[in-house]
Amino acid sequence: MEGINLIPFLDLKAQYVQIRPEIDAAVARVIGSGHFVLGPEVTAFEERFADYCRTAHCRAVNSGTSALHLALLAAGIGPGDEVITVSMTFVATTAAILYSGARPVFVDVDPVTWTMDPGLIEAAITPRTKAILPVHLHGLMADMDPITEIARRHGLVVIEDAAQAHGAEYRGRRAGSVGDLGCFSFYPGKNLGAFGEGGAVVTDRPEFARRVSLLRDWGQESKYDHIIAGYNCRMDEIQSAILNVKLDYIERWTEARRSLAERYDALLSDLPFARPQPPRHARHVYHVYAVRSQGRDDALTLLRDAGIGAGIHYPVPVHLQKAYAELGYRAGDFPVTEMLADEFLSLPIYPELLPEQAAEVVTTLRSAAALRPSVAGSGGAEHPQSVMTWSHNRRAS
C-alpha cells in the first residue's frame, strides 16, 4: 500500500524553490533570444563544465545515453568489437554499447566498492576487445589506476560512465578526466540535473571532441555539408541555461550530500546494514546512499509503510534482464553483482534533506533490524566481507 510520502526519495521541487528567480530568468532569457538549440548557453556550459571536470573539452548532448553512444563511436568502436563493462548499472550503459554495434562483455564488481573489479578485466580481454567502460556507481569512482594501466598495456580505450558522479574524485582527479572520454547525464534526478534530458562528453583529446561535435549534429561540418553519417543528439539552450545556473551550486550541494552520508554512516554504525566503504583517496558524491542487508526486502517494506521513499539501485542486474537475454549470460555468472542486487537498499539523499529526516529514516531501519534478530548483531557494517558469507536467499532465476 502506498502511504503518504513523509520523506520522499528525491525532492526536485525543494531545489527549484531555492533558486527559482535565477532559473526563471535564465529560461525567459532563452525564450526571448529565439535561439533554442546549440547556441551561446550551450557553448558557455561546455566551457564551464570542462573546467569543472578539469578536462580540455566538453560537448553537450541530449542525454547521458547519447553521451555514451557518441563517445563509443568517437573512439572508433563498432560492429565486431567488444567493450568490457559491468552488469551492476543502469541498462543505458549496456544499451549504448549495443547501439554502437559492439558487444558488451561483463565482469563482476568488487564486494567492497561495488564498482568494476580490476582483477577480473584481463581474463575478459580477447583480440576483439577495444574498450573498458567502468561505471562510477552511486557516485564513487571505479578503481581507475589499475583499469587505465591494463588499458594502456592492451591498447584499449577507457570510457567512464560518470552519469552518477559529477564532481567525484579519485586520487585528486575528477570523474570524466581519468579515462580517454567521460560521459555524464543531466537527467533531472542526477546530482546536476536539467529540467528535461541532457548529457555531456568530456575529453582531453581534441579529435574525440571534434567527432562528438559532428556525430551529435548530423555529421555536419558546416550547414548541409555532411561529412559523416551522424545523429540528432543536440542539447537545447533552455537545458544549458538551467545547467549554467545550477553549476554555481553543485559544489555546495555535493558537500550537503556528503555530510548527510556521514550522518547516515554514524547513525547506522550499530545496525546490521553494511554501509558504503569509499577508499580514503576517493571523493564519493553520493548520488545514491545504499546500504546492504539480507533483510533488505523487509526493511524496504517497513520504510515504505512509514512513508519513507527508498529504492534499489539496481534490483535486477543487466545480465539477468529479459531485454538482454541474447547476450547469453545466466544467473550465477556474476556472484557479487547478483548478491548486491539482492541486498542493496537506497536511502533518501539529496541536498535539501534535513539531518532530522535522515535520523528518522534510521530510526525506522532500527525497527527493521529488530524484526530480524538473526540479522541484528552480525556486525556486517564493520565487516563487509562477513555480510557476503551470510546465507541468503538468492532470487530463483
Ligand X SMILES: *Cc1c(COP(=O)(O)O)cnc(C)c1O
Binding positions for ligand X, rule: CB under 6 A: 63-65, 89-90, 92-93, 135, 161, 163-164, 185, 187, 197, 199
Please, are residues 104 and 98 in contact by the beta-carbon 8 Å criterion? yes
Closest CB to ligand X among 202 and 368? 202
**For helices 64-74 and 92-99, angle between their N-to-C axes, nearest 10 degrees:** 40
Q: Which residue is nearest to ligand X (CB)?
A: 64
For ligand X, which is the closer residue by CB, 185 or 293? 185
Looking at residue 104, the DSSP 8-state letter turns out to be E
Active site residue 130: no
Nearest approach, Cβ of residue 163 and ligand X (Å):
3
The single residue listed with the C-alpha cell 558522479 is: 165
Distance of alpha carbon 324 from alpha carbon 88, whole angstroms: 13
Cell of 338: 547478483
What gap in Å lies between CA 344 and CA 353, rounded to an integer?
21
**Integer Cα distance of 132 and 211 in angstroms:** 19
Q: How far is the CB of 334 from ligand X (least distance, A)?
A: 16
- Least distance (Å) between residue 16 CB and ligand X: 19
Nearer to ligand X, 190 or 296 (CB): 190
135/168 with CB nearer ligand X = 135
| Structure letter (DSSP) for residue 220 | E
Task: Output the smallest distance, CB 153 to ligand X, in A.
Answer: 26
SS3 (DSSP) at 315: coil
Rounded distance between C-alpha atoms, residue 373 and residue 107, angstroms: 35
SS (H, E, C) 15-74: HHHHHHHHHHHHHHHHHHHCCCECCHHHHHHHHHHHHHHCCCEEEEECCHHHHHHHHHHH
- Cβ proximity to ligand X: between 58 and 268 the closer is 58
Nearest approach in angstroms of CB 90 to ligand X is: 4
- Nearest approach in angstroms of CB 313 to ligand X is 8
Minimal CA–CA distance to 140: which of 59, 257, 292, 24?
Answer: 257
Taking alpha carbons only, the member of 124, 127, 75 closest to residue 104 is 124
| Selected catalytic residue, list 13, 130, 190, 322 | 190
- Give the largest CA-CA distance in the chain: 69
- Are 165 and 285 a contacting pair, CB within 8 Å? yes
Closest-CA residue to 182 (of 198, 163, 155, 207): 163
Cβ distance to ligand X smaller for residue 92 or 388? 92
**What nine digits make up the cell of 139?**
557516485
* Smallest separation, CB 146 to ligand X (Å): 20
Report d(CA 327, CA 103) in Å as an integer: 8
Catalytic residues: 190
